[in-house]
Structure 1
Amino acid sequence: MTAKHKIVYKLLVLLQVRMQKTDLWQVAHPEPEALESQEPFCVDTLSMEQWLKFVFIPRMQALLDAGAPLPEACALTPQVEMQLPSQSQAAVSEVTQAIDDLLTEGKTPPASLLKQVL
């Protein structure tokens, strides 16, 4: 696993923790048809928090587990900022911005953010 893969892994764990702490972590699994949407972020069938939990995190985890190349660009944060409730937005968007910056620009997240993951 490359250093970049390890950082993405930590950020995915932190994203899950932040979503759980802000009550955005969905328990009920969406219908299978909802996951088959062709729209970006499945906007026509899923909420942003559902998309993060049931699409983004599992797909990124699968890439990490396989040691596969990671996406070369990512732009989660604008969608997060548009769709998540304002009281939860900052906690989640801090992590999604770190993911966006790492994948798109190769920018390493601040150590203070990464230290939040055991």
Structure 2
Amino acid sequence: MRILDNIISDRGSKYAVSGGPCRSKDQANAFIKELCRSKKFAKATHNTWALLAADAPLKNDDGEAGAGMVIVRMLEREGLHDHIIVVTRWFGGKQLGGDRFRHVQDAVRIYLEDLRAG
């Protein structure tokens, strides 16, 4: 499990991104369960995730409507299959509007760059 913490901060909201090998919804649920063993991630407002599985893309917005699809599109562009990416947000008290999608994209981009770097 690769975790990049405190990567984005905006109006009090803080973001992290994590990911790892994953092939199914069951493995995705196990990944989220493992991530949430850390109290910090368990207390997050949103743990939005997506993965390109063999049959179809899988995603969960976790209350951050539309964010899972943003991750799916980025995974498709990258051609990254069987790998889950989770964008975690701790709400800071102020609505971010459309900026939240930009932050999800930035978080995934940061993760993918880190993954390529090894």
Q: Does the pair score TM above 0.5? A: no
Rg bigger for which structure? 1
TM-score (norm 1): 0.27
* Greater strand share, structure number: 2
